[in-house]
Amino acid sequence: MKRALITGISGQDGSYLAELLIARDYEVHGLVRRDSIEDSSRRLSNINHLKEDITFHAAALDNELSLYKVIAKVQPDECYHLAASSFVSYSFEDEYSILTTNFNGTHFLLASLKEASPDCRFFFAGSSEMFGTVEAAPQDEATPFNPRSIYGISKLASHHLVRNYRTQYGLFACTGILYNHESPRRDFKFVTRKITSQAARIKLGLADKLYLGNLAALRDWGYAPDYVQAIWQILQHHTPDDYVIATGVNHSVEEFVTCAFSYLGLNYRDYVEIDPRFYRQAEDIPLCGNATKIRNALGWQPTKPLEDIIAEW
Q: List the catalytic residues.
A: 127, 129, 151
Q: Where would I find the H helices in the chain?
A: 12-23, 34-38, 40-43, 64-74, 90-93, 95-116, 150-169, 191-203, 224-236, 253-263, 292-298, 306-311
Q: Which stretch binds ligand NDP (CB under 6 A): 79-87, 162-170, 233-241, 304-312?
A: 79-87
Query: Binding partner of residue 263 among ligand NDP, ligand GDR, none, CB under 5 to 8 Å per kind?
Result: none
Q: Is 247 in the site for ligand NDP (CB under 6 A)?
A: no
Considering only CA atoms, which of 210, 283, 226, 219 is closest in space to residue 12? 226
Q: Is 2 in the site for ligand NDP (CB under 6 A)?
A: no
Preceding amide of 276 cis, omega within 30: no
Query: Binding partner of residue 88 among ligand NDP, ligand GDR, none, CB under 5 to 8 Å per kind?
Result: ligand GDR
Q: Is 70 in the site for ligand GDR (CB under 6 A)?
A: no
Q: Which stretch binds ligand GDR (CB under 6 A): 60-68, 95-103, 133-141, 184-192?
A: 184-192
Among 60, 113, 137, 212, binds ligand NDP (CB under 6 A): 60
Residue 196 near residue 310 (C-beta atoms within 8 A): yes
Nearer to ligand NDP, 153 or 178 (CB): 178
Nearer to ligand NDP, 14 or 225 (CB): 14
Distance between CA atoms of 4 and 123, rounded to whole angstroms?
A: 11
DSSP state of 286: -
Give the alpha-carbon dihedral of 260, 261, 262, 264, to 10 degrees. 100
Distance between CA atoms of 198 and 26, rounded to whole angstroms?
A: 37
Paired sense of beta strands 54-58 and 78-81, if any: unpaired
Question: Which 269-298 positions form the footprint of ligand GDR (CB under 6 A)?
Answer: 278, 280
Distance between CA atoms of 15 and 9, rounded to whole angstroms?
A: 6
Q: Is 177 in the site for ligand GDR (CB under 6 A)?
A: no
167 contact partners, CB below 8 Å, separation of at least 6: none
Report, in Å, the least distance between residue 179 CB and ligand NDP: 6
Q: Which stretch binds ligand NDP (CB under 6 A): 3-11, 49-57, 199-207, 278-286?
A: 3-11
Nearer to ligand NDP, 187 or 308 (CB): 187
Question: Which 116-135 positions form the footprint of ligand NDP (CB under 6 A)?
Answer: 125, 127
Question: Which 86-145 positions form the footprint of ligand GDR (CB under 6 A)?
Answer: 86, 88, 127-129
Nearer to ligand GDR, 107 or 219 (CB): 219
Report, in Å, the least distance between residue 150 CB and ligand NDP: 12
Residue 294 near residue 230 (C-beta atoms within 8 A): yes
Report, in Å, the least distance between residue 93 CB and ligand GDR: 13
Per residue, the 3-state secondary structure of 193-245, as one string, reads: HHHHHHHHHHHCCCCCCEEECCCCCEECCEEHHHHHHHHHHHHHCCCCCCEEE
Q: Which residues bind ligand GDR (CB under 6 A)?
A: 86, 88, 127-129, 179-180, 189-192, 194, 212-214, 217, 219, 253, 278, 280
Q: Which residues bind ligand NDP (CB under 6 A)?
A: 8, 10-14, 33, 36, 43, 60-61, 82-86, 101, 125, 127, 178, 180-181, 187
